[in-house]
Structure 1
Amino acid sequence: MKIAVFSACVYDQEFLEKYNTNHQLVFFEQALNFDNVALTKAFDAVCLFVNDRADEKVLSALVENGVKLILLRCAGFNNVDLEAAAKLGIKILRVPAYSPEAVAEHAMAMILTLNRKTHKAYNRVRDGNFSLASLMGFNLNHAKVALIGTGNIGKALYKILKGFGCSILAYDPYPDDTLRAEGLVYASLKEVLCDAEIVSLHCPLTDQSFHVINEQTLKYFKKGAMLINTSRGALINTADVINSLKSGQLGYLGLDVYEQESALFFHDLSEKVIQDDLIARLISFPNVLITSHQGFFTREAMQQIAEITFSNADAFANGKPMPNEIKP
């Protein structure tokens, strides 16, 4: 098949070419949207990532251009209008899991960095400043952690947190019986937030989870608690979180995702004026750590993404069962 790969960085091209199963690939650096959908003419499929847009207008144009398949090289699919795709007859295949440990380990790295302030200590020592002032953290052993979502990534982080001796509660509309058998206690969202020193988000973005962290739920947080988001930016109402940081209700914030990240993440904007006032404000806080959607970014994850993407493409091309197909 002839596949148009959008949001393609150098590392995407490296791994996709390495594990290609004899498909014709054309790489585009820009994210797919209605303004550039004309690029997809004469392609059989498009390969998309988290910031590519596949709403009804784009999907209709894709079908007019002859595209029959969307290959998502990610687990999330909130950027695709599934109902419109079904009506138009375009198939959607995703990578349901790619090294969940990679994202869980990144979440843990953010927790450790914010807590023990190793990023600040590193910069201080390079400047010849060996003071410990303002670098005090807290023990993770016996610390209370709230896991919001216990899918593959939440489950992986649960195992890591257990190793640190944390006390863990979870909220998930679909509790995992295996984790329950291991001793994980599930409770309501309010109950898990109220007493947690660390809250980590690991749920998909749906109509129900949109802005699950907002002005009201932030009031449930223990004063000075830490919030980590390595899932989807729109799980958090950014303006409400900024207000909570300003008041001191929220003590730390770690973001690997951001609600308006498509205009920022994966790009070098170091010589430009950032027009997004919310992220500029977040960057100014000393107790905020932001990374650019790199939680997934390990060799193992990139290999799995490429391999599963091409197994999806092969299944479609050869008329075989497609276990990774997404339907409304």
Structure 2
Amino acid sequence: MDIVAFGVLADERPLLVEALRGEHRVRCLEAFLSPETVAVAEGYEIVSSSVNDVLDAAVLSTLAAGGTRLITQRSTGYNNIDLGRARELGLTVARVAHYSPHAVAEFAWALALAVNRRTVRAVGRTREFDFRLTGLMGWDFHGRTAGVVGTGQIGEAFATIAHGFGMRLLGWDAVENPRCRALGMTYVDEERLFAESDLISLHVPLVPETHHLVDAAALARMKDRAVLINTGRGGLIDTAALVATLKRGRLDGVGLDVYEEEAGVFYVDHSLEAMSDDVLARLMSFRNVLVTSHQGYFTRDAVGQIIEATARNVADYLAGRASENVLVAA
């Protein structure tokens, strides 16, 4: 079976080829799936997509007309896929339901620690042999309050690390996690969590109900010296409201591994171009903001699990088997 995979990263390519070797031939493309590139998929029954690909109604219609029957996305999130249109077209859509939650949770903590202790600024100084400590003072996480927004597997892993730091735990979720309760977490409403937390980390999926969950009102409730971390989805935060909050000198720091307009920006080298996204450029101009390129999942463990699940999705589709990864069944 011939398979075309879009948005394949250099470190991901050999793992994907090896996992599908033998029974299948996979064509790996760095280019993202979009209205401009969808024609490349003509004749491929199976398409593997990435989280930053565009799979709207028009792209899905073109894929179906070109013979595509399975879309297997190499991520847990699927907000970039028009599932309703896929169902109308008779497409099968699968994702990766689970992979190492520790990868994302640990990276969220890497951002929190780097933001709090001004690590990036400190390294930049010492590389120029400037060893002053002026402006680098952080604060202890021990004894302070961590607000965990979303207490599924990743939120639980984040909370476990926070518990190890000796932090008070507040949680917000539609369904309480008994393992988080066992850590001493208190479940509260959104307003109280934002008002009382010194560190807030976002671990909920992006659905209509969570779009711009962190809006101007939520930001206004936060402590002036709070730290905000987002390794979930960019659309959870109203970025324009965040920029306005930072311009007023509020928040001790922000760590973002995702951005609501990241498609077409992240995973691409724009170093020789002018940044056309004014909001992102302004956001990155703040010295207390750290932005990374959606790499929270990017460990050998997690990527290996994602590739293995993708190979299973292909095998299940060809065998007519159902699995927890299937979002839409033809």
Under TM normalisation by the shorter chain, which class is it? over 0.9
Secondary structure at 1:222's aligned position in 2? coil
Secondary structure at 2:12's aligned position in 1? helix
1:54 is aligned to 55
1:15 is aligned to 15
**1:322 offset after TM fit, Å?**
2.2
Give distance in 1, aligned partners of 2:229 and 2:305: 25
**Unmatched segments (≥5 aa) in structure 2:** none
What letter matches 1:12 in structure 2?
A: E
Q: Contact 1:224–1:248 (CA<8 Å) still a contact in 2?
A: no
Give distance in 2, aligned partners of 1:68 and 1:183: 47
Q: What per-residue deviation string (whole Å, max 9, x for no partner) do you get for residues 46-87 of structure 1?
A: 101111011111111111111111101000010011111112
Aligned length: 328
Q: Contact 1:245–1:251 (CA<8 Å) still a contact in 2?
A: no
1:235 is aligned to 236
Secondary structure at 1:34's aligned position in 2? coil
1:221 is aligned to 222
Give distance in 1, aligned partners of 2:94 and 2:297: 19
Q: Contact 2:160–2:183 (CA<8 Å) still a contact in 1?
A: no
Alignment of 1:1-328 (within 5 A): 1-21=1-21, 22-327=23-328
Give distance in 2, aligned partners of 1:220 and 1:171: 15
**Range moving further from structure 2, 181-190 or 161-170:** 181-190
**1:18 offset after TM fit, Å?**
2.1
Give distance in 1, aligned partners of 2:81 and 2:116: 36
**1:182 offset after TM fit, Å?**
3.6
**Range moving further from structure 2, 87-96 or 16-25:** 16-25
Q: What per-residue deviation string (whole Å, max 9, x for no partner) do you get for residues 192-229 of structure 1?
A: 11011111101100000001111111111111211110
**1:320 offset after TM fit, Å?**
2.0
Give TM-score scaled by structure 1 length. 0.97
Give distance in 2, aligned partners of 1:327 and 1:197: 40
Give distance in 1, aligned partners of 2:162 and 2:125: 29
Q: What per-residue deviation string (whole Å, max 9, x for no partner) do you get for residues 233-254 of structure 1?
A: 1111111000101112322111
* Cα RMSD for the two superposed structures: 1.3
What letter matches 1:81 in structure 2?
A: D
**Range moving further from structure 2, 117-126 or 207-216:** 117-126
Q: What per-residue deviation string (whole Å, max 9, x for no partner) do you get for residues 1-49 of structure 1?
A: 3211001121121110122252210112211112221111110111011
Give distance in 2, aligned partners of 1:95 and 1:315: 13
Runs of 4+ residues deviating >3 angstroms: none
Give TM-score scaled by structure 2 length. 0.96
What letter matches 1:96 in structure 2?
A: A
- What percent identity do the matched residue pairs reach? 39
Q: Contact 1:316–1:322 (CA<8 Å) still a contact in 2?
A: no
Give distance in 2, aligned partners of 1:114 and 1:221: 17
**Range moving further from structure 2, 312-321 or 103-112:** 312-321
Give distance in 1, aligned partners of 2:328 and 2:186: 32
Give distance in 2, aligned partners of 1:141 and 1:245: 25
